[in-house]
Amino acid sequence: MLITIENVLTAGELASIHEILARSAWVDGFLTSGPQAAKVQRNQELPEGTETISELRRQVMAALQRNALLFAAAFPARFYPPIFNRYGGTANFFGDHVDNAVRPLPDGSGYVRRDVSATLFLTEPSEYDGGELVIEDIYGIHAVKGQAGSMVVYPSSSIHRVEPVTRGFRTSCVVWLQSMVRDAGQRRLLFDIDMALVQLRQQVGDIESVVHLTGTYHNLLRRWAET
Ligand code: NI
């Protein structure tokens, strides 16, 4: 299941992030990925250990943690610190790959199991050609080119790629998280129930049956969530 979340970043946050990105140095992205992904990865990333990446991560994490829709869709238990990448020039694509199941944290403090992946778009689609994020899941193949500040969320188990950028530069932030609900099918059920409950509450208010259904939703979540 793919979920697009609009306006994860405000215009002010986007401007601040671009100001920091403009004075950041980029390195080859394949230096940081596993051997299989490295063969098909031709993009650039911000290196670890700089003050600029710490500040960018702080701003993005604040936006992610206040986002109720991301919580409803992904149930984040642990985040991998967001990474920032750029596609354009000769480093302009990332071929088909899966995100490895487990990734060691950059500070060596442990591991994050990647259940959910997300791309937070930082460049407006009008500023570049190509660069679609193409995701294959059980429902088919989806090509996504989101507005700056929007985010697409999908299971880390999906094969995905970024098509070559043939004009301009595409910058984005990639987010991986370990979910309280490990199974993608269970997350989907919970999200669907939650969204239907939100609509019901708006249409008929908190009548007795809605309260009961809300209780059932939480009891399912209690059954499936590991924190
Ligand atoms: Ni990936």
Domain ranges of the chain: 3-179, 184-224
Check if the beta carbon of residue 122 is closer than 8 Å to that of residue 86: no
Check if the beta carbon of residue 70 is closer than 8 Å to that of residue 24: no
Which CATH code, of 1.10.10, 2.60.40, 4.10.860, 2.120.10, is assigned to 184-224?
Answer: 4.10.860
CA of 50 to the centre of ligand 1 (A): 23
Q: Kindly tell me if the per-residue pLDDT of 101 is higher than 80.
A: yes
Q: Please state, in angstroms and rounded to a whole number, the distance separating the CA atoms of residues 94 and 29.
A: 10
Whole-number pLDDT of residue 161: 97
CA of 105 to the centre of ligand 1 (A): 16
pLDDT, the chain, mean: 95
Q: Which CATH class is domain 3-179?
A: mainly beta
Check if the beta carbon of residue 84 is closer than 8 Å to that of residue 171: yes
CA of 175 to the centre of ligand 1 (A): 10
Check if the beta carbon of residue 73 is closer than 8 Å to that of residue 155: no
> Between β-strands 140-144 and 102-104, what pairing exists: parallel, antiparallel or unpaired?
unpaired
Q: Please state, in angstroms and rounded to a whole number, the distance separating the CA atoms of residues 61 and 55.
A: 10
- pLDDT single digits (tens) 148-187: 999 999 999 999 999 999 999 999 999 999 999 999 999 9
Query: Which protein residues have their CB within 5 A of the ion that is ligand 1?
Result: 99
- pLDDT single digits (tens) 13-22: 999 999 999 9
pTM of the model: 0.94
Q: Please state, in angstroms and rounded to a whole number, the distance separating the CA atoms of residues 175 and 151.
A: 10
CA of 198 to the centre of ligand 1 (A): 32
Whole-number pLDDT of residue 28: 92
CA of 10 to the centre of ligand 1 (A): 25
Q: Kindly tell me if the per-residue pLDDT of 189 is higher than 80.
A: yes
Whole-number pLDDT of residue 179: 98
| Closest residue by Cα to residue 120 from 44, 12, 1, 14 | 14
